[in-house]
Amino acid sequence: MATVTFDKATRIYPGGTKPAVDQLDIAIEDGEFLVLVGPSGCGKSTSLRMLAGLEDVNGGAIRIGDRDVTHLPPKDRDIAMVFQNYALYPHMTVADNMGFALKIAGVNKADIRKKVEEAAKILDLSEYLDRKPKALSGGQRQRVAMGRAIVREPQVFLMDEPLSNLDAKLRVSTRTQIASLQRRLGITTVYVTHDQVEAMTMGDRVAVLKDGLLQQVDSPRNMYDKP
Ligand code: ADP
Ligand code: ADP
């Protein structure tokens, strides 16, 4: 677990006339669930990708804990990310999908097994470990994608519209599951969505972006109270 700090973080795409993200300042607390929300094109993904190390930062800095990670490659940032298109390996079982990154990292089989089993328990996937992804529901697959991220025990967890491929009903139940999972793990989380209801129901705090500029950061309660 760790704090995450965007310190005037700025991204200007090559050929861009104005910043896609303009001097973003947010201090995220240890264990906090922060939601970045705003309309399409406001800079949410760019912000998340800067934090992940997938996008150059053209001004300002990004810190995880007290480490300046602004120019570190993704693998050295101790983060895990779940995308909108969480492609699972179709020929591998759920367990092997979840353990794959650990296998690549050279973790021994017994330890992988233990971590996979723990994650599966938390995610309610224990009875599906030997199945292939195609034998699972959309919501279960989505949880496998999360499992794949959490077995690595990252300091920070990033999610970019992870529910957008689910139907409306599943989206609501998965929303609750993700929020409670995050609270149980207590892992600092940055979650991107264009859906205001999702933002307000899931976040400890919600950061509203518009045209690359931060408009407001506050708890949902305080946002509702304000006119
Ligand atoms: P959001 O995630 O809120 O939809 P993005 O971060 O994807 O917003 O995009 C922010 C702005 O940056 C938009 O104007 C978008 O068109 C632009 N943008 C995003 N990716 C690129 C890119 N690879 N090259 C140039 N412009 C980009
Ligand atoms: P390999 O495919 O290299 O022979 P395994 O079949 O044992 O290795 O599975 C790959 C990884 O996934 C292993 O490291 C193992 O610990 C994990 N794994 C496989 N099946 C399960 C399971 N049912 N429960 C938990 N972890 C599993």
The answer to whether the CB of 96 is under 6 A from ligand 2 is yes
* 101-112 average pLDDT score: 94
**Ligand lying closest to the C-alpha of residue 47:** 1
Q: Is 147 in the pocket of ligand 2 (CB under 6 A)?
A: no
Please indicate, yes or no, whether the overall pTM of this predicted structure exceeds 0.90.
Answer: no
Predicted confidence at residue 85, as pLDDT, reads 67
Q: How many CB atoms lie within 10 A of CB 43?
A: 22
Average pLDDT, the chain: 93
Half-sphere exposure of residue 101: CA atoms within 13 angstroms, side-chain side: 20
Q: Say whether pLDDT at 73 is over 60.
A: yes
- Give distance in angstroms: CA of 43 to centre of ligand 1: 6
pLDDT in tens, 134-171: 999 888 998 899 899 889 889 999 999 988 888 888 88
* Distance from residue 13's CA to the centre of ligand 1 (Å): 8
**How many angstroms separate the alpha carbon of residue 161 from the centre of ligand 1?**
15
Q: How far is the CA of 211 from the centre of ligand 1 (A)?
A: 10
Q: Look at ligand 2, atom 4, and give the residue with the nearest C-alpha.
A: 109
Ligand 1 center to 100 CA (angstroms): 31
Q: What percent of the chain has pLDDT over 90?
A: 74
Q: Shortest CA distance to 27 belongs to which of 53, 61, 58?
A: 61
Rounded to an integer, the average pLDDT of 11-39 is 97
Evaluate whether 207 touches 34 at the Cβ level (below 8 Å): yes
- Percent of the chain's residues with pLDDT above 70: 98
- Tell me the mean pLDDT in the region 82-90: 81
Does residue 108 surpass a pLDDT of 80?
yes
Nearest protein CA to atom 14 of ligand 1, as residue: 41
Q: What is the mean pLDDT of residues 8-35?
A: 97
Tokens standing for residue 215? 């408009």
- Among 25-29, 203-207, 219-223, where is mean pLDDT lowest? 219-223
Cβ count near 10 (within 10 Å): 19
Q: What is the average pLDDT across 50-55?
A: 96
| Pocket perturbation via mutation, ligand 2, pick of 94, 107, 116, 118 by most ligand atoms within 8 A of CB | 116
Among 10-24, 73-87, 101-115, the least confident range: 73-87
Q: Which ligand is nearest to the CA of 98?
A: 2
Higher pLDDT: 216 or 181? It is 216
Mutation choice for ligand 2 from 111, 113, 114, 123, CB with most ligand atoms inside 8 A: 113
pLDDT at position 227 is 57
- 191 alpha carbon – ligand 1 mean position (Å): 17
